[in-house]
Structure 1
């Protein structure tokens, strides 16, 4: 049973100030989770988490994470501009992009960001634009399938990202010839994994590759970026990843593979988004309509523009009817928004307590890839973002859009 991090009484207080729908974030939970992650990898002196900005691109959230020692992983021009405004600079910024426009490489270089190249052809592009920096990273794609214990499988061979091993060997050699002195290695092989074995397995792949690259090219590999992929349990009863066990599994692989290869000083980086923020954000919405035809429908004042994941690929998000947590879930509903699209459904055939008009519903685990995936279809407007501070106060950290915002870019 998932429990919201906010009570009904507190929500009533918040909704008296801010109209629904809105995304609500839990500062205490965010900070505590960032500290757990940092402690799990404290055995590696150079460790740093580079938060995936695309997951939750809000400056107040980014400032909190920076205070907790995190860097920022960016993948676009505006994300680079955002973290610059927040105060990130130099090696606090990782720039990982693909099919990268020239202006993005130029700004990343200007900010002193660590550039993580996605493709062999980008070497000459970067050289001609700004020159090759002394520290550079490259993304690896092993191809084929990647599986763990027959439960997690992804298909790197179908992904558009990264170098092949052969390209990395040639690329590292070429980059050294162009002035690169220190190298990083990066890979992302599976998404939202619910097993403590994923990161250690990925680490082993990268550690073996790093040792081989050092042997074949002589490159000074100073860091390895394990990227993201550590998941969260969207459904009640799913496995909860234990970051302490994950960190320990990576440590064992490090000592078994890198240390004997003379690479015991390599720093480890992560770029987690969903794990960092997902459980510490909720979408707060209100039941405003009901419909009784072939199915029972509850219409809410949020829609897919506020949370795209269920409409986009049927993702599950748990729903709590606030104040009715202890009542039997004996009513079957589709919980839907108002878009003129039949996939605008937060839940299908979901068993919930009886929902009455005006009830507040909390849609869980929207702290990452929630607001950030919003859009303006049907002329709908994106909602506010509210931060629940550690002291119990609230702060609007992004106002809701208005019709004036919608019309601001139009020309009549």
Structure 2
């Protein structure tokens, strides 16, 4: 169940005009789809007072996309200085920002605390004395270790580098409180791209139990529980979508039960990235070559520097050929780029309509962790980004990289030192 029929209906009829005007390759994002998904989250958790989505900036760090999120009332989940600065460009300040990093540097702490600060979510108990000034509101990322299975994508929490251990969590809050923290949040994220909502419900139950234990041991109350991201999208046609409605209802009930036992209810925060934008983006490329050796290859004008998920994870991304019936006159091909790496493949032994040079291919579900995970190995340059706006117009929201960009960091003032000499 890749890109929705409504996205196709908006995009495919005008795609030839778009490619003629902008050229290929490019990522294009659907504003209507993004806004509709945001509203689904809001409606799903409408009974949770104070519910808020903090968009995971790492999924799609483009200012125009962040402006859409801001317009919907969302905050931002940031994990780097650049992501903080991008989010602040939208006007986000203070508790609009959730800063979750790991192996955090002093510089990162300083930027996170500047311009009104944000919610500091510490990844490790050893970071507590490294915070330049303990903020009034503090949060810790909790790692349940063997108490939770995680899922097949993110792996065993006991092997994860992230978070405070179960045994450390009470001490972490005690130390932060003794250093001046007066308000508290609790965070976790132990699944990724999960389509079975039961995982999220189970983890929510576990985290609420931890919050209840800390409340009893230290007498503190939690203002919010941040359940992170991890909501999955159906990349394959045969995949069933996440049952958001049932998940939201069961999580809401867990919070209601917590209130009955403890006399208060924390707010619920989520940090959805992939779920918000993943299905609402596509990488549009052109077939520029065909090769027949031991198998048939369709070479396109983009490579894994524009979408590395298939190479990195073996991930499936559905592919359409513009104007051709997917059921007729098909062939089995690999769809490949021009990088000097044999895993530079968007599809392996995929059944596609017979493709000719000049055909336009649409690679689905690239609205998250697509352009954002790009790189410049082999001197390859990342493509432009476009936004299909609600009025049907198409806006350039990031130009393509140029050779001048690639060489920009080689322009600097000479700087040489002799080790061992003052």
Whether TM exceeds 0.5 here: the answer is yes
Name the counterpart of 2:146.
144
Closer, same or farther: CA 329–275 of 1 in aligned 2, 3 Å: farther
Cα deviations across residues 207-247 of structure 1 (Å, max 9, x unaligned)?
A: 11100110011112110000011110111111201222211
Name the counterpart of 2:325.
325
Q: TM-score, normalised by structure 1?
A: 0.95
Name the counterpart of 2:175.
174
* Contact 2:227–2:269 (Cα < 8 Å) also in 1: yes
Larger mean Cα displacement after TM superposition, 302-311 or 190-199: 190-199
Q: Find the aligned partners of 2:86 and 2:108 in 1 and give their Cα distance.
A: 13
* Contact 2:60–2:369 (Cα < 8 Å) also in 1: yes
Q: Which runs of 5+ in 2 are unaligned?
A: 413-422
Q: Find the aligned partners of 1:3 and 1:179 in 2 and give their Cα distance.
A: 48
* Contact 1:134–1:182 (Cα < 8 Å) also in 2: yes
| Residue 191, structure 1, aligned to residue 192, structure 2 | yes
Cα deviations across residues 247-286 of structure 1 (Å, max 9, x unaligned)?
A: 111012112234322232x101000100011000000001
Q: Find the aligned partners of 1:48 and 1:224 in 2 and give their Cα distance.
A: 11
Q: Find the aligned partners of 1:117 and 1:295 in 2 and give their Cα distance.
A: 50
Shift of 1:152: 8.6
Closer, same or farther: CA 2–234 of 1 in aligned 2, 3 Å: closer
Closer, same or farther: CA 151–94 of 1 in aligned 2, 3 Å: closer
SS in 2 for 1:350: strand
* Contact 1:146–1:153 (Cα < 8 Å) also in 2: no
* Contact 1:118–1:163 (Cα < 8 Å) also in 2: yes
Closer, same or farther: CA 315–145 of 1 in aligned 2, 3 Å: farther
Larger mean Cα displacement after TM superposition, 285-294 or 4-13: 4-13
* Contact 1:146–1:154 (Cα < 8 Å) also in 2: no
Select the residue among 134, 137, 140 that pairs with 1:135: 137
Q: Which runs of 5+ in 1 are unaligned?
A: none
Q: Find the aligned partners of 2:41 and 2:290 in 1 and give their Cα distance.
A: 43
Name the counterpart of 2:165.
164
Select the residue among 125, 134, 138 that pairs with 2:130: 125
Provide the aligned length of Structure 1 versus Structure 2: 407
Q: Find the aligned partners of 2:2 and 2:226 in 1 and give their Cα distance.
A: 32
* Contact 2:2–2:279 (Cα < 8 Å) also in 1: no
| Residue 81, structure 1, aligned to residue 82, structure 2 | no
Name the counterpart of 2:381.
381
Select the residue among 43, 55, 58 that pairs with 1:54: 58
Name the counterpart of 1:409.
409
Q: Find the aligned partners of 1:203 and 1:8 in 2 and give their Cα distance.
A: 40
| Residue 67, structure 1, aligned to residue 67, structure 2 | no
